[in-house]
Structure 1
Amino acid sequence: MSSRQAVLFASLTSVALLAQAAPQPDWAKLEAETMQHYQSVLRLDTRNPPGNEHIIAEYVKQVLEKEGIPAQIVGSDPKRSNVVARLKGSGRKRPLLIMGHSDVVTVDEAKWKFPPFSATRDGGYVYGRGTVDDKDNLTASLMTMLLLKRLNVALDRDVIFLSESGEEGTTGVGIGYMVKDQFPLIDAEYCLAEGGGVVRIGGEVKYATVQTLEKIPRGIELVSHGISGHGSIPLKSNAIVHLAGAVAKIGDWRPEIRFNETTGTYFRKLAAISPPDVAKYYRDVLSTDPTLRKAADDWLFENEPRHSSMLRTSVSPNIFTGGYRSNVIPSEAKATLDVRALPDEDPAKLLAQVKQVVNDPAVDVRFTGQNERPAGRDARLDNEVYRALEAAATRVYSATTLPTMSTGATDMAQLRAKGVQCFGIGSATDFEDPPKGFGAHSDQERLLESELHRFVRFNYDVVSDLARAK
């Protein structure tokens, strides 16, 4: 090839790459706008209960429509509303749904250093309920819609935005309602929502996680029955004693380890990027040698309980009630177990296992039917969304991407049950923060300002990569 031909080839290649690349905004100039929207939604008190998500719905609708994006408020309860907006594409590909939930968990205001709905900026952080669950995701999705419209990005698929209510325990007004009564508004090939994130250790990014699967919440009640009587005459049939024994057995029980594609890949990749002394346990827990596996399982249970929970269906006794006077032996006592089941767990077999562990005819074991979500299939790791997420994590964070299974529940479960391929993402947070009380649902929930801005860029990069015309 002559030098002239080489120059021409390079020029044509550059033009082709520019044609394929999505328009990029001036990220530094967007920081003030991003922070304004973030603080605005944080300052709107949407603790659930009662929710009152309509105040965010109205704010988001106004912001979208000011940019020329039609937005629709929908819901079964006017105070618990959702917002849907759509940027139209050519229709060559099926839509992409991006969503965040607008409600947050309740707060004990006396325990907060800063008022929980003040969105106080201090030391490079923003403090407030919802900073990492899930108003960062909501803000990033909102900014992505604004940027796609503002930069006039040509799309091969529709991009649908959903601000949903009720994720924190009242899904009937949010994703449950949307799937049951308004599914055509959000029907999509792919969905991006909460559930993943970027892990920082010692202030440095170590890896990114993408949630491709989640455990299924189920409630189980243990109800013990005995004979009531005077507290001065202890009885063998004391319902509290029977219940305490049952709860102790559950506390000592660890269901069997079972891997799926997501968790197997996660631990293999985590071992490859971890220090040798810790990587050993991630490798050994995958071993077929029962001695190595048990030793690794014991270490994870003691030192990294979240990783232990990813290995199995987990059962945690969280509520214990019984009695009404100190001098009266109660005839009944009740404990509630928080079960997070592997997606392929058979409910009937699980209940039978719990009964076998309890092994006490004085204790009834039954499902509560509360806060249940449907089981769904893993999101595939060999598709365009996962590849786009990996590429964006490399560009924005210089990070390796690991697929992960959430131990907690998200509203992607209902969408997965409808056949939507769902992927959970999130901001970069410090691994050390949750034990110190700075994580999601904590009394000092917070997010680094710099990581909010990085996450907005990451979100935009992924969505534009997947949706823009090429």
Structure 2
Amino acid sequence: MKLLASIMALALTAAAQVPAIDWTAQKAEILRHHRSLVQIDTSNPPGNETKAAEYLKKVFDAEGIPAQLFALDPSRANIVARLKGNGSKRPILILGHTDVVGVQREKWPVDPFGAVLKDGYIWGRGSVDDKDKVAANLTVMLLLKRSGAKLDRDVIFLAESGEEGTTGPGIDYMVKSHFDDINAEFAMTEGGGATLENGRITTVQIQTTEKVPRSTRLVVNGTSGHGSVPRVDNAVVHLAAAVAKVGTWETPMRLNDTTRTYFEKLASISPPAKAARYNALFDPTRAEAAQRYLAINEPQRYSMLRTSIVPTIIQGGFRVNVIPSQAEATLDVRALPDEDLDKLYAEMRKVISDPAIKIEHISGNDRPAGPPSRLDTEMYRAL
């Protein structure tokens, strides 16, 4: 509802009337599209996002909304749809991604691609990342079309493939080869969110920038041998110690213009106790205690304060009675936009303090840091 209102505020002509929407009547259709998208297995790898793109294409075709598939890989198509305005303003782009991360089916209490409605939620891979956004954007396009609203700018819909770590066939391809089809003054995608407390939305957060993913690997080599003979260079032991040190390492808190403004605004609208904690972040004598509280109770906000390093994968031996010759761990590093990776790795080596551990940057899907979106735009005011 808020997304549609924002798009209308940006795209409707001055003389246009904002159509009233009966959201209760729309609920069944919105859930149908959401669940249908979740039921399409687009686990990346391999992706197979064309299946989702074709579903969306059928919906757009039925509504008379021009839509086109673009594919670098035939199995990994992107889809673009467009509602035309009068051209007096540049377009707005609303986008989401159709791929999802893989699943360990045996860990799920339900079919991860069943879109089961349980306890008031849609259970399934992609239900909140990112097929809910794709369904919301689809709803915006359908309701704008049906309303007959007069637009002063085009509204462009993009459902991209390959967002989950393989952007080559997705947004990279669209920017390099079909930028004219998605070129816009403003773009809105996943990020931000709302805080729900006691069934009531207390804050709506607008994300204007984000950290930079820098996947990293810890590798250690040792002497292989029989498990009955302990060895001082056991790769698993060295790796376990390194992972424990890195996983508990608190990198320095560094507020930038974006996060400083965020916590200032958050404090201004929060109850007294919370406001005091957020304001304490600006006071060197109280910041440490405030960070400890956030780390336990508000980990997402705690993460905003620093470059985060989280161990996510450990690989080692293959038999209980064999000491492996190598062990490695993967770290999900989310760096502040101005982070110097070489300096970060130098500090990491000091923290680990073990010459047997090698630190390797995993290249291949690095994303460049971008400047924050401005807060004085028509888009921001509409949101």
Q: Do the two structures share a fold, i.e. TM-score over 0.5?
A: yes
Aligned to 1:428: none
Aligned to 2:76: 80
Aligned to 1:51: 47
- Among candidates 323, 332, 336, match of residue 338 of structure 1: 332
The answer to whether the 8 Å contact 1:218/1:370 transfers is no
Q: CA deviation at 1:192?
A: 0.8
- State the TM-score, normalized to the length of structure 2: 0.89
SS at match of 1:369: coil
Q: CA deviation at 1:114?
A: 4.2
Q: CA deviation at 1:248?
A: 2.3
Q: CA deviation at 1:81?
A: 0.8
The answer to whether the 8 Å contact 1:102/1:163 transfers is yes
Aligned to 1:358: 352
Aligned to 2:368: 374
Question: In 2, distance between residues paired with 1:188 and 1:230?
Answer: 62
Q: CA deviation at 1:366?
A: 1.5
Is 1:165 the equivalent of 2:155?
A: no
Q: 1:250 to 1:90 in 2, by over 3 A?
A: same
Q: CA deviation at 1:122?
A: 4.5
Q: 1:33 to 1:251 in 2, by over 3 A?
A: closer
Aligned to 2:301: 307
Is 1:38 the equivalent of 2:34?
A: yes
Question: In 1, distance between residues paired with 2:89 and 2:70?
Answer: 26
Q: CA deviation at 1:83?
A: 0.4
Instruction: Provide the identity percentage.
Output: 55
Aligned to 1:431: none
Is 1:66 the equivalent of 2:62?
A: yes
Counterpart code for 1:356? K
Question: In 2, distance between residues paired with 1:353 and 1:120?
Answer: 46
- State the TM-score, normalized to the length of structure 1: 0.73
Q: CA deviation at 1:371?
A: 3.8
Q: CA deviation at 1:125?
A: 3.6
The answer to whether the 8 Å contact 1:38/1:136 transfers is yes
- Among candidates 203, 209, 214, match of residue 207 of structure 1: 203
- Among candidates 255, 265, 277, match of residue 261 of structure 2: 265
SS at match of 2:208: strand
RMSD: 2.2
Structure 2 gap segments, 5+ residues each:
1-12
The answer to whether the 8 Å contact 1:92/1:157 transfers is yes
Q: CA deviation at 1:165?
A: 1.4
Q: 1:351 to 1:42 in 2, by over 3 A?
A: same
Aligned residues: 371
Q: CA deviation at 1:110?
A: 4.5
1:266-285 Cα distance to aligned partner (Å, 9 max, x none): 21222233333333221111
Q: CA deviation at 1:206?
A: 1.1
- Among candidates 369, 373, 378, match of residue 384 of structure 1: 378
Structure 1 gap segments, 5+ residues each:
1-16, 390-470
The answer to whether the 8 Å contact 1:228/1:331 transfers is yes
The answer to whether the 8 Å contact 1:119/1:126 transfers is yes
Q: 1:21 to 1:353 in 2, by over 3 A?
A: farther
Q: CA deviation at 1:128?
A: 2.9
Aligned to 2:4: none
SS at match of 1:205: strand
- Among candidates 198, 220, 228, match of residue 194 of structure 2: 198
Is 1:217 the equivalent of 2:217?
A: no
The answer to whether the 8 Å contact 2:16/2:150 transfers is no
Question: In 2, distance between residues paired with 1:298 and 1:311?
Answer: 12
Work out which structure has the larger RCO, using CA pairs closer than 8 Å and 6 or more positions apart in sequence: 1
Question: In 1, distance between residues paired with 2:32 and 2:313?
Answer: 40
Is 1:141 the equivalent of 2:137?
A: yes
Is 1:244 the equivalent of 2:225?
A: no
Is 1:348 the equivalent of 2:321?
A: no
1:108-135 Cα distance to aligned partner (Å, 9 max, x none): 4445454333333345443333222222
